[in-house]
Amino acid sequence: MYYVSVTQNFAAAHSLREYQGKCERLHGHNYKIEVELKGPGLTKNGMVVDFTSLRQALEKVLSRFDHQHLNDIKPFDKVNPTAENIAKVIYEEMLLKFNAKKIKVSQVVVWESEGCKATYGPK
């Protein structure tokens, strides 16, 4: 199995619902997102998928979150905008772009700060 990934960043604000502590107040993060795809083989030009295609797809998904208040954007108007839930939403949106018979989205990792990350995937 081959694995490829790209990372992108976006900045956004959020406040956590039903949370006791400073993160219940409006605050922001410079999120780092990694999307990993997997495939059992390579194309005839030696790739699982073109990094440019993967990067462009992720940029499109993240563009609706960048410099926004996440609590105002669906599904985070109802779902708590935690790193775990952000990872799941991005994973599901990337599945719409990469879910071929052989190429699958393996996982999405969301860092909301240098030492704090959440991962979502079917592992």
Quick one: how many helices (H) and strands (E) in the chain? 2, 5
Domains and CATH numbers, the chain: 2-120 (3.30.479.10)
Question: How much is the mean pLDDT over the chain?
Answer: 95
Strands (E), the chain: 2-14, 27-39, 68-69, 104-113, 116-120
Spatial separation of the C-alpha atoms in residues 74 and 54, rounded to whole Å: 23
Q: What is the largest CA-CA distance in the chain?
A: 53
DSSP H/E element including 83:
helix 83-97
pLDDT band at 101, cuts 50/70/90? confident
Share above pLDDT 90 across residues of the chain, in percent, rounded to a whole number = 93
